[in-house]
Structures are given as C-alpha cells and as structure tokens.
Amino acid sequence: MSLRDRLEAVLARLVRASATERILISSASLLLSVLVGFVLILMAGRMTSCGTAAVSYFGVGFCYDPFLVFNKLFLGALGNPINPDFNPLQGEFGAIIRPGFDLLNGQLATTLSETTILIFAGLAVAVAFRAGIFNIGAQGQLVMGALATAIVLLYVAPFVSGAFGTLVLLTLGILIGATAGGAFAAIPGALLAYAEANEVITTIMLNFVATAIALYLAANRFKDPESFANQTVALPDVALFPNVVFQPRDDFSLLALGFAIVLVFAIWYLLTRTALGYDIRTSGIQPTAAEYAGVDAERTIVTSMVLSGALAGVGGAVYVLMVLGNFQTGVPSYGFDGITVSILAGNSPLGVGFAALLFGVLKSGSIVVDVGSDVPPQLVGVLRGLIILFVAMPEFFRLIGARILPENIAEPEQAAPDGGEVTDDE
C-alpha cells in the first residue's frame, strides 16, 4: 500500500464514522491534548526559576503543577465543586462536593455567559459554512448588531417600564441586532452572488469597517460624556436581561442561554427539515447540481449570508443586553472564535452547543488559572489552543475527506480507488 492509499483509507474511515464514534474520537483527542499539555507544563516548569518546587516527579522538581493547572482550568470554570479532602489517589475519601459549594457561583456564570454568546456566533458561521460560504465576517456583523441595539434601545427605553417593558425591549433589541447584523452581512453576500467577489476578502475587510464605524460612533456621537472610555450611555435596567437565578453582578441570564438553546434547535430544524434548508445545504455541497435542480443560487447565497449575519447580530445584541449593559469598543473576538466553534462542531447546529460550552469552560477556566497559579497566561493560551486543535482536527479531516474522496467509500473492505483530483495529502 502506498502512503497515499493509506492516508485515503484513514480519511475514509473518518468520513464513515458514526456520531457515537465521532464523540468518542473527540473525547480521546481531548484526553490526548491534556497529556501533551501535561508534558508542556512540566517542561515550562523546568525553564523558569522559582523558589520552591510546586511538584516533583521522579526526584525532579517542577515549578508548575500540571494537576493544579488542569484542575483549575476545567473545574475552576464550574466554581471548584470538588472537595479538596476527596482524593481517591491519596486514599482520602471525604464528601465529593466541597462544603459551601454554591452551584450558582460567579465563575459558572462567566462560563455560561461566554457559552451563550459563542452559540450565536458559532451558529452564524455554521449556517454560512453549510451553504458553502466562508463567513469570516461574523465579528463585524456581531459588532454592528451590538452597536445598533445599544443605540436604538437608548431612545426607546424611557417609554416603557415593568416586566412587560423588559419583554418588549428585549424582543426589540434582539430584532434590531438581527437586522443590523443581517444587513451588514448582505453586503458581502450580494457581492459574492452578483459580482463573484471572494467572500473571504470582503468579510475580512468589512470587519475593519465595522470596528471603525463602532469606534467613531462610540467615541463621538453617542459617547457617554461621564466616562473616559469609548462607550455609549448605560441602558436602564428595564432593557437588560433579568438575572433569573444568578447574582446581578455575574452578567449572566438563564433566559438568554435558554433562547440560545431554542435557536440551536430552530436552526437545526431549518437546515434539515425545510425547503430553504435544503436549498442551503445542496448549494453548499454541489452548487451546479443545486442550480440544475432549480435552486436559485444567487438568492440562496444572499439569504444564507443574511441569516448568518442576523445570528451574529443577535449575539452582539445579547452581549450588550446581558454582559455590558451598553456598547463599548474592544468587543472580544467572539466572531472569530465562532469559526472555530463551528468547525469543532462539524458545522452541525446541535454540535455548536457543545463546542461553545467547551470554549466557555476554557475561557472562564483560564481566568481561574491566571489568578490562582503562577503559570504565565501565554502558557495557558497554548494549552487552550492545544485542546481546541486536538479536538477540531479529526472533524477537520472529516470535512476534507468528505470533500475530496470519491463517493463509493461506503464499503470498508473495498480497496480505495484513486482519488478524483490531486490534492495535498497533508
């Protein structure tokens, strides 16, 4: 068997993997990345100098303790539920859950709040990917959604009050975010459909446009005169997501997470059970065939971009209405993380929920590591990257394999025939 045949056989195996197998593969990758991370932390711990060893193995002292780092990274994101006295490895069997552990703690709120916004961003990118479009502009669309929501609600908020007012304002805010994000995404969509302008270029450039517009408006026309920062005036509480069971200071609302989960199922339904979803998916798989089957290619491109941008815009609206309470420049890179979330999920809406949760845990956990250990933040960033890379790679190869391999790979016993076109087997 030549190397090429072998690689194709591996790819084919990945493409054929069932959902259960894919979950198992991802879990194994996660475990492997933790093991590699372990070695990295130990190595970094030999390269720096410190007073006393954090941990020693085989008589060699290390400055950083990998167990501590991963404990804080994963469990810290949940608010450290595990009792320190519970340590089966050392023969200590206390209660598993730490006494005084409050499930509704601030760190879990941070985790879920990140997850919520990444669900919107991930869904946005996934919809575009399914239509065969690389929407790198989710960040810009999200910024536009956030900006429009913060500005419009400022003018509307004084006219309503009470629980009903909150409902009206939240609905309006999300609609405005969706409209602004969708309209901003329609530009590259139309350019791609009617002028064949590469959407990767246009969306990247429009990210800068969005950031510049946001900076201009937040620094001049709508600036909060009381503040040094470039931010709009704070919205009144009536316009913000109510903190259902968490503390108000935690900037997280179960309502928003619930809405995100509902959207996950709605997008899944739209893609798999509706005519529009069929159009989107077929144009993504094989545009020429879709055209032949009566799909209006131009319209489908614009529609899927608008839908994608609207989802990103909703993410921006939720960021304003749940996390910030106003618009401030320097929006975190949710839109770019959404690309990774989507690939991690194999562009499946249902998978986006889980991928976003993994991202949320890593984001929130890295804060706990940063504050609670001497490990430099750059190293934590490397660990985060490793985990994402390992988990995403099998999915990534699956996508590549599905694209380049011939159709008749369903028979495992059959030797793989020559691939259609020459590709880089990297």
- Contact segment (CB under 8 A) with another protein among 22-30, 57-65, 148-156, 308-316 equals 57-65
Based on the shown chain and the rule CB under 8 A, indicate whether residue 50 belongs to the binding site for another protein.
yes
How far apart are the C-alpha atoms of 205 and 198, rounded to whole Å?
11
Interface with another protein in residues 88-117 (CB under 8 A): 106-107, 110
43 sits near another protein (criterion: CB under 8 A) = yes
**What is the Cα–Cα distance from 16 to 413, expressed in whole angstroms?**
13
Tokens of 227: 């503040």
Given 96, 201, 219, 289, the residue binding another protein (CB under 8 A)? 219
- Nearer to another protein by Cβ, of 39 and 289: the residue is 39
Minimum CB distance to another protein, residue 62 (Å):
7
Min separation Cβ 228 and another protein, Å: 4
Structure tokens at 92: 């200590």
Backbone φ and ψ for 101, nearest 5 degrees, come out as: -75, 130
Q: What is the x/- site pattern for another protein, positions 58-87, by CB under 8 A?
A: --xxxx------------------------
2: contact with another protein by CB under 8 A:
no
Please report where in the chains the tokens 């562009």 appear, as a residue. 347
At residue 385, φ and ψ (nearest 5 deg) are -60, -40
* Amino acid type, 80: N
Residue 395 to residue 40: CA distance in whole angstroms: 24
Question: Near another protein by CB under 8 A, which window of 184-192, 292-300, 337-345, 363-371?
Answer: 363-371
Q: From the CB of 58, what's the least distance to another protein, in Å?
A: 9
Nearer to another protein, 174 or 367 (CB): 367
CB of 269 to another protein, least distance (A): 32
47 contacts another protein (rule: CB under 8 A): yes
Under the criterion CB under 8 A, does residue 368 sit at the interface with another protein?
A: yes
Among 94, 330, 406, 420, binds another protein (CB under 8 A): 330
Residues 144-173 that bind another protein (CB under 8 A): none
Q: Which of 285, 297, 370, 419 binds another protein (CB under 8 A)?
A: 370
Structure tokens at 105: 């703690």
The contacts of residue 83 (CB under 8 Å, 6+ apart) are: 94, 95, 96, 97, 98, 99
Residue 155 zone, left/alpha/beta (φ > 0; ψ -120 to 50; rest): alpha
Distance CA 298, CA 179 (A): 20
Q: Which is nearer to another protein, 104 or 215 (CB)?
A: 215
First to last CA, the chain: 18
Give how many residues touch another protein by CB under 8 A: 52
Question: Where does this chain touch another protein (CB under 8 A) — which range of 46-54, 121-129, 275-283, 335-343?
Answer: 46-54
**Helix (H) or strand (E) segment spanning residue 56:** strand 55-57
Nearer to another protein, 300 or 364 (CB): 364
Q: Are 99 and 83 in contact (CB under 8 A)?
A: yes
What residues numbered 371-390 form the site for another protein, per CB under 8 A?
371-372, 374, 376-378
The b/e string for 359-383 (b: 16+ C-beta within 10 A; e otherwise) is bbbbbbbbbbbeeebebeeebbeeb
42: contact with another protein by CB under 8 A: yes
Tell me the DSSP string of 244-299: SSS-GGG---HHHHHHHHHHHHHHHHHHHHSHHHHHHHHHHH-HHHHHHTT--HHH
| Residue 251 touching another protein (CB under 8 A) | yes
Identify the residue among 15, 29, 45, 135 touching another protein (CB under 8 A).
Answer: 45
Q: Is 4 in the site for another protein (CB under 8 A)?
A: no
Work out how close the CB of 332 gets to another protein at its nearest, in angstroms, rounded to a whole number.
Answer: 4
> In angstroms, what is the minimal distance from the CB of 227 to another protein?
8
Q: Tokens 């419009």, residue?
A: 152
Judged by CB under 8 A, which stretch of 44-52, 120-128, 135-143, 265-273 contacts another protein? 44-52
Q: With b meaning 16 or more CB within 10 Å and e meaning fewer, what string describes 44-55?
A: bbeeeeeeeebb
Q: Is 212 in the site for another protein (CB under 8 A)?
A: yes
Q: 216 phi and psi, to 5 degrees?
A: -60, -50
Q: Return residues touching another protein (CB under 8 A).
A: 1, 5-6, 9-10, 13, 39, 42-43, 45-54, 60-63, 106-107, 110, 212, 215, 219, 227-230, 249, 251, 319, 323-324, 328-330, 332, 364, 367-368, 370-372, 374, 376-378
